[in-house]
Amino acid sequence: MRDRDVGPTADEGLLRALYSEHGGPLLGYVLRLTGGDRLQAEDVVQETLLRAWRHPDALAGRPVRPWLFTVARNLVVDAHRAKRARPPETGIDEQLLTTLAGSDDIDRALESWTVAEALAELTPSHRAVLVETYYRGRSVAEAAKALGIPAGTVKSRTYYALRALKLALEERGLAP
């Protein structure tokens, strides 16, 4: 068939007439309904005019503009409801973040357990120096007083204890 080559049909003429007469006011109305989202508003106007074109009998015997505005409003409401009914297409899912945070807690617990095992492998003097300086947060002088050893000994034991701890953690695949 070569209908398209002949020119616009009566249906296309109706659509063009509807758009030229009601397109501008309809777009302005839908822009207000969509909060200024021009792309969504243009889609709604297009769908509204398409429905009028598909159902010309719905326009017969009634004012056209109120019918178009009602259809457009219904389309915007339906789109809003559909958007709320399904998960967001983009953005961050709060439940996923909670799940990931939970796995971080598990990872931290496993790391702590591994570090505790590595500390248990150290000599008692190295372990005592690390407990005083790192876990209890004492200065070299305070650790020396608590352990009853000179400050220089605390420094050297801390140095060698950290090296031994690093090796023990590397054996477990945890050292940097």
Identity of residue 17 = A
What span, in angstroms and rounded, lies between the C-alpha atoms of 7 and 15?
Answer: 14
Indicate if the pLDDT at residue 63 is higher than 60: yes
1-10, 18-27, 126-135: which has the minimum mean pLDDT? 1-10
Helices 140-147 and 151-171: crossing angle in degrees, nearest 10, is: 100
Average pLDDT over every residue of 1-20? 61
Looking at residue 79, its amino acid is A
Higher pLDDT, 172 or 90: 172
Backbone angles phi, psi at 7, to 5 degrees: 140, -175
Q: Comparing C-alpha atoms, which of 72, 76, 66, 25 is closest to residue 51?
A: 72
For residue range 68-116, what is the model confidence (pLDDT) as tens digits? 888 899 999 888 888 777 766 555 555 555 555 555 567 777 788 888 8
pLDDT value, residue 104: 57
In this model, does residue 3 exceed pLDDT 50?
no
The reported pLDDT for the residue numbered 2 is: 37
In this prediction, residues 7-16 reach a mean pLDDT of 65
Q: Does residue 158 carry a pLDDT above 90? A: yes
Q: Does domain 94-169 have CATH number 2.30.30.790?
A: no
Q: What is the pLDDT of residue 8?
A: 46
| 116 close to 135: Cβ distance less than 8 angstroms | no
Angle at 23 between CA 19 and CA 26, to 5 degrees: 140
Question: How many Cβ atoms from other residues are within 10 Å of residue 65's Cβ?
Answer: 14
Whether pLDDT at 24 is above 70: yes
Q: What is the pLDDT of residue 7?
A: 42
- Ordered by start, the domain boundaries in the chain are 3-85, 94-169
Domain 3-85 has CATH 1.10.1740: yes
Q: What percent of the chain has pLDDT over 70?
A: 82
pTM given for the model: 0.44
Q: What is the mean pLDDT of the chain?
A: 81
